Chains A and B, each alone.
Chain A
Amino acid sequence: MLLARLLEEKLANLYRAGKINGGVFLGKGQEALSASLGMALKKGDIFAPLIRDQAGRLAFGEDILDAVRTYLGSKLGPMRGREGNVHRGLPREGRYAMISHLGAMISAVCGGLMARRFQGQTGVVGATCVGDGCSSTGAFHEALNLAAVEKLPLVLVVANNQFAYSTPNDREFACKNLVDRAIGYGIEGHTVDATELDACLDVVGRAVERAREGRGPQMVVATLLRLAGHGEHDDAAYIPEALKNSPTGRDCLKVAECTLMERGWASAADLEAWREETLQQVEEAVATVQREPAPDPAEETWCALSTQELDDTFRA
């Protein structure tokens, strides 16, 4: 959580300094939920993170350099400058690379799980995270229904952060709680207050275990507030003060830190030391990547196929 938060704060600063092409999208406020999912998954599982899952990515094994390289456009990164920011992954290691179209990754995880079943692998879980906005897409419905029909070990975390870009929940869906949809799909649904790390670890962890035990798809609907704009270009002026000051608007990282201190598991000095140490890790990663080369158009294959001999040849 802390590493994700500090990494993203650094990326936001670099963005404001004009050092990043494209956008920067923060998971601020979603770290407890996302990290809980990443921690509940095991090596060999499948995870398709979305835009606000830096914490989950790191918890599931992403190298911090992969994140920084993709944001800063290093040619040494996993996407080699062909893709940026949150659109990254190493699919062969179970970390699928999201496309921007919301809901598209859910069925991809379903297919990954079908493949594992064909291959005779058991005890595998596939997880993906979406937002309240994604719940309105056809892809969301098709994929959840497919997962239910195939009884796949899918964990779908719906982070209801109250806004799809600027559109509030009441213009996005009309059901009382998105978890009610689980009934319609014939799958198990769970809710969690995503400002509480304890609750996230418990609910998400149990959902992953239930999927692993063969109880079919699990839907976790988490309530939180996005503590940033949609991206760093967005000042989020549309978020009402009352909501920011409500329990939903609490910062999960601060809540977690308070809990640690209340329980005597960490002192203020410990927290400060962790922050310093983590900040150092972030600074080192950024300094490393800033010395790395950008992609060179002359080195590009300019071929979208792996079978290069079948690439359509245009002669100017």
Chain B
Amino acid sequence: MITYLEAIREAQAKALADDPRVYIYGQDVAEFGGAFKATKNLASAFPGRVLNSPISEDAMVGSAVGAAIEGMRPIVEIQYADFSTPGFNQIVNHAATLYWRTQVKCPITIRLPSGGTAGSGPFHSQSMEGVYAQYPGLIILTPATVEDAYSMLLEAVAIDDPVLFCEHKYLYYHLKAEGLPTEALPVGKARIARQGRDATVVAYSAMVHEALAAAEELSADGYEVEVVDLRSIKPLDTDTILASVARTGRLLAVGEAWPWGGVTAEVVARVASEGFELLDVPPRRLNAKNTPIPFHPNLWGTHRPTAPTVARALRDLLRL
């Protein structure tokens, strides 16, 4: 059995082994193996290529841009997605604009350990993907499975543009698979995680599993809910979403991020704009509550969407 976290480590080991241009830069990533041990043993296996950085997110990302200009393919580990904000400028204004401005490619992978876990509080739980998705020039991946964590991270390193790899901390240890995948859908393709005919849930990252659990609950009542795992939120696979809505006529978009704008709003907007006639009822969204992310597990469990709240939202949608 291999966990989601181990898949991320294995993907990095393979990237380092396959390509001398790859190196890893981040806080505590060397001998210590990273705050989550996502780089455990990599520093000794690849001497000089897994480097500890100072606590300087701006300079970490800025240096990756310079290294990419010189032909390297850096992987930057930001310790928590929340801490990417001090590096925000380099991500959105430097990395994301480099190719468009200069025609020099910027193949950097920025790993963002994302999303909430119990007891993590407002500054170790955030889902930043929607914020970054607003900016052109970035690719944003949100793997929901062990297989995707592995194959999409390898693909991220191979892509010639800056990739934000939003790996979910809740899935690190909870999610296990039999082994590493030998084939994978390409980046940019969503996946039908569960087939159904009565309603479509569009989700990504950890929310895919909440949606699958909710779909299971509803199947006991005779409803068949289709779950679309976006896999990548930029690019967004609008075709797969529309095809699913064409089958079901009902749409619920679920995201762990905050409700204003963001991925779920984009999904609903695109379906309303491009597939209005496919909808039997108004589309719905379910997001985290519009407050900072609370510390206590009781509050946190209510702040973010969970299987019971997804199921409730689906029942509302199916009653319409």
Contact = CB atoms under 8 A, between A and B. Distances in A.
A104 B90 contact: yes
Interface string A78-93: 1100110001011110
B139 A305 contact: yes
Nearest to A137: B58
A86 B97 CA distance: 16
A112 B94 CA distance: 14
Given A114-B66, A304-B137, A310-B235, A82 B100 contact: yes
A115 B56 contact: no
Given A96-B66, A97-B101, A307-B160, A312 B234 contact: yes
B238 interface: yes
A149 interface: yes
A245 interface: no
B179 interface: no
Contact count band on B: 35 or more
A99 interface: yes
A40 interface: no
A145 interface: yes
Contact count band on A: 35 or more
Contacts of A315: 238, 274
B100 A304 contact: yes
A90 B99 contact: no
Given A107-B62, A118-B23, A146 B99 contact: no
B55 to A, nearest CB: 9
Contacts of A142: 54, 56-59, 62
Nearest to A145: B54
B254 interface: no
A310 B139 contact: yes
A145 B55 CA distance: 10
A145 to B, nearest CB: 6
16 contacts: A100-B93, A104-B94, A107-B59, A107-B62, A107-B63, A119-B71, A142-B56, A142-B58, A142-B59, A304-B136, A305-B137, A305-B161, A306-B105, A306-B161, A307-B139, A310-B161
A168 interface: no
A313 to B, nearest CB: 7
Interface string B53-81: 11011111111111111111010000000
A92 B104 contact: yes
A139 interface: yes
A89 B49 CA distance: 29
Given A97-B101, A312-B236, A146 B59 contact: yes
Given A111-B69, A118-B72, 11 more contacts: A101-B93, A104-B58, A104-B62, A107-B61, A110-B62, A111-B62, A139-B58, A146-B59, A306-B106, A306-B161, A313-B235
A109 B235 contact: no
Shortest 5 CB-CB contacts between residues of A and residues of B: A111-B66, A107-B62, A111-B63, A115-B70, A142-B56
B160 to A, nearest CB: 5
A115 B58 contact: no
Contacts of A145: 54, 56, 59
Nearest to B55: A142
B51 to A, nearest CB: 8
Contacts of A91: 69, 98, 102, 104
A194 interface: no
B188 interface: yes
Instruction: Output the residue of A106, A107, A143, A149 with the most chain B CB within 10 A.
Output: A107
B94 A99 contact: yes
A304 B96 CA distance: 8
Contacts of B240: none
Contacts of A284: none
Contacts of A39: none
B292 interface: no
A234 interface: no
A312 B64 CA distance: 24
B187 interface: yes
A108 B95 CA distance: 10
B309 interface: no
B104 A115 contact: no
Nearest to B139: A310
B86 interface: yes
A109 B69 CA distance: 10
A272 interface: no
B101 A112 contact: no
Nearest to B266: A312
A104 B93 contact: yes
Contact of A112 (B23, B66, B93): B66
A79 B104 CA distance: 11
B89 A149 contact: no
B65 A111 contact: yes
Nearest to B57: A142
A25 to B, nearest CB: 18
Given A101-B93, A110-B59, A310 B102 contact: no
Interface string A283-310: 0000000000000000000001111011
B23 A310 contact: no
Contacts of B65: 107-108, 111
A311 interface: yes
